[in-house]
Each structure stands twice: as structure tokens, then as C-alpha cells.
Amino acid sequence: MPKISVGRSEDDKEEYGLKGTGVIGKHLVGENEEAHTANPIHFDLAKPHVMGVFGKRGTGKSYSLGTIAEEIQTADISQNLSTIMIDPMGIYWSMKRPNEKDVTVLDQWDMKPEAFDAQVYIPKGKAKEFDEQEMPYDDTFTLNPAQLTAEEWRMAFGLEQNSSMSILLERAVQELSEQYGDNYRVEHILEALEKFDFDKKTVRGLENRFMNAEDWGIFDEESSLDKLTEREELSIVDVSVFGQMSGGTKVQALIVGILGKRILRRRMAARRLEELDEMQGLDQNEMPIVWMLIDEAHEFLPSDGETPASAPLLRWVKIGREPGVSLVLCTQQPAKLHPNALSQCDVLLSHRLTAQQDIDSLGEIMQTYMRYDLKHYIEALPDRKGTGLILDDNSERIYPIQMRPRKSWHAGGTPDAFDE
């Protein structure tokens, strides 16, 4: 039986076979309702990738994102990997529970329900809120405000680049950085704002924004983000609490941006040490290869405008292969994802799409490998959840796929009013 392994070069296939891969589904042979599953489709987990996971609401894109996370956790190289899931909807905590409701379906795939040791992290300042609502979490995270640039604050606050508040912000951050380095807090910023000769309205406006920022519950003297990259750990960064407030997506993007910068910097330093070890004939992984999976990715890396996460994520896209970081971008609106990210995806998984702009945006990337236009391939898929197309840029092939069922519980289903 021929083996299908996407995301892997022919040289690596020959050298490693299926080591360091995970099974995410099966190849669909045939069209529409006559399509049937055939060979397993393996996905390379050992090398860095930029992957896109797309599909309109209800087609299983978030479900598939969880499947990819499960495969990373159970891979035979998991000891050298670390997984971070950015969860803007608060649904991935359920991976801690086995998928008992789909026992029959799992059995058809020779699989069993399985709970995963996912570590759910929430903002430290929101712990009381989670406790009162009895919402599950394992630990908290914090950011050091001194690690934010004036530009990141500006985007988080939604300020115009050349506004008086932006200019005051730039001067205050510059002075504090020169005076304290990475050892100042929001209260120091508030004190610094009074020292500059700006009109009262500008100063008060910026003060109000910083006081609101303290209510985000993410700032502390020390950043605790490094604990999110432990070996073999699945870290779920739950930022859903910010989605309930005005401007909350910018706060979510700020967290992702700082996290992305810090991880990339650490992996680049680790890679230099790993190369030195290789020169000496040693085989050692200084820091695990990091996979960051982002749901609702267009909110963090939009096609129009920018967020505090835009520049860090684009650096992952452009240079992440060398230091060893992988990015999985999941969205129901690929046309709203930054075009540079979209064009650099070496693996694409697309469930059903109906919006013409989304089909066109993917079609431009996939046209090199297609005998027909993308719409033809989508319409040929059977009408059931979990079907899609997977494009492998390494082999320049397109495979219709039936994604495998989740081993862990999926909390992202649509609620209804029917009696059980």
C-alpha cells in the first residue's frame, strides 16, 4: 500500500520513512457521495512548517486544529516538540477529556477515546473571574510591561501613528527604557507621562488607557511566558475573556505578539547552540521545536491593517524554518488573512468554502498544481463533516481527505434547543 506523507521532502521520506509523522486522516478516492476512504495521510511533524487550515463555519476547521495538536502530542518525536494553542474562543480546554461520544466512529478507525494532558493558561488577573464561574484552568501567565515597545502599546490602544498621544507614548517608553531597562511597571509609565510638556487632554487620555490596561490582568514584574514551551507540553493559552470587551482582539494580539517574539528569540539562540553541538558530533536539542496553532488567525494577522501580532507572526512565516518554529493558521476567512502568510503556507488544509473571495485567494496559490479550478475540487467533496483538500507544496500534489475523528472531546460544536 503506497504511503502518503505530506509536508515531507523526498529525501526525508527516503531517510526517515514515517518517523516523526502523524496520521491526520485518509485519502478520499472518488467524487461526491461515491467517495470512499483509502490510504492514511501522514503529516510531517519533524520539520518546521507554515500551515493553513481553512473552512466555512461548521465544516470542522477548529476540530481539525485539535486533531493536529493531538498528533503532535502522540508523535514518536514528541519529546523534542512543544505545542502552544492560541484559543480566542475558550474551546480547547476540553482536550483534557476523552471523546466518549464518538466511541463507535473511533473504533472504525482503530482508535479509542483519549484525554490529553493539556495545560490551560489564563491571564493572572482573570483567575478570580474563572474561579467564580468554575471555568477550568491549570495555571496563569503574565507579561512584563517593560518588554512592550511604544509601537505595540500604540496598536493595542488603537492610536493613530502620528497623534499627540502616540508621540507622548514614544517619549515616555524611551525614557523609561533608558532609565530602568526591563524593570519598570505600568505605574512608572503613569508617573513618566506627567514629566513631558503635553496638553492636559493628551496626558489624561493616555493615562486612562494605561489604567484600563492594568485591568487586562496580564501585567506583572516578571514575564512567565517561558513556561509555555516545556518539552512534550500542550499549552492552551485561553484569551477568550478579552473577546467579550471592546478592543479585546487587540489585547489578544498583543499577547500573541509578545509570545511570538520571545519564542523566536529563544529558538534562534538555541539553534546556534545546536549547530555548535552538530559540529562537535553531538546530537542534542537545546530547546524543543515549537508549534504554535492559532484559531481565528485573521484577527491576529489581517490582510488589511496590522495588530501587535502582525510583525512577530510574519517573522515566523519568513524565517521560522531556520530556527525551528512552526505556525498553523486557522480561519474561516482566508481572504482576510495577510497575503504574505497565505503565500508562504507549504501545507494547506481546506474544508468547504463558499465565499468567492476565499475560493479565489486559495485558488491563486493552488493553481500551479491543479488540473481544474479550486471550485471543482470543492464541489467534488462528499457532503459530510471533516472532508477537505490538502495541498502539499513539497510534492506539488492535492489530496482529497477525510479527517480522522478526534480522540479528545471537542467543545466547539454548535448548540441547539433539541431535547437529548
Q: What is the pLDDT of residues 8-23, one digit of tens each?
A: 999 999 999 999 999 9
Cα–Cα distance, 63 to 55 (Å, whole number): 11
Quick one: which of 260, 318, 244, 266 has its CA closest to 48? 318
Evaluate whether 90 touches 98 at the Cβ level (below 8 Å): no
Per residue in 203-240, pLDDT (tens digit) is 999 999 999 999 999 999 888 888 899 999 999 999 99
Evaluate whether 137 touches 238 at the Cβ level (below 8 Å): yes
pLDDT reading at 420 higher than 50: no
pLDDT reading at 276 higher than 80: no
Length of the chain, in residues: 420
Q: Please report the pLDDT score of residue 374 as a whole number.
A: 80
Helix (H/G/I), strand (E/B), else coil: 383: coil
Distance between alpha carbon 2 and the CA centroid of its chain, in Å?
A: 32
Indicate the angle between helix axes 248-279 and 310-319, nearest 10 degrees.
Answer: 30
Q: Please report the pLDDT score of residue 418 as a whole number.
A: 46
C-alpha cell at 318: 519568513
Q: Which residue has the cell 526591563?
A: 182
Helix (H/G/I), strand (E/B), else coil: 384: coil
Instruction: Report the greatest alpha carbon distance in the chain.
Output: 75
Helix (H/G/I), strand (E/B), else coil: 192: helix
pLDDT reading at 380 higher than 80: yes
Cα–Cα distance, 340 to 312 (Å, whole number): 13
Specify burial of residue 188 (Cβ count, 10 A radius: 0-12, 13-18, 19+).
middle
Residue 84 parent element (H or E)? strand 81-87
The predicted model scores a pTM of 0.93
The highest-confidence range among 136-150, 216-230, 277-291, 374-388, by mean pLDDT, is 136-150
Q: Please report the pLDDT score of residue 185 as a whole number.
A: 93
Q: What is the mean pLDDT of the chain?
A: 91
Quick one: which of 403, 402, 405, 399 has its CA closest to 3? 399
**Residue with the larger pLDDT of the pair 252 and 384:** 252
Pairing of strands 50-54, 118-123: unpaired
Helix (H/G/I), strand (E/B), else coil: 236: strand
CA distances from 381 to 27, 365, 388, 413 (A): 12, 20, 7, 21
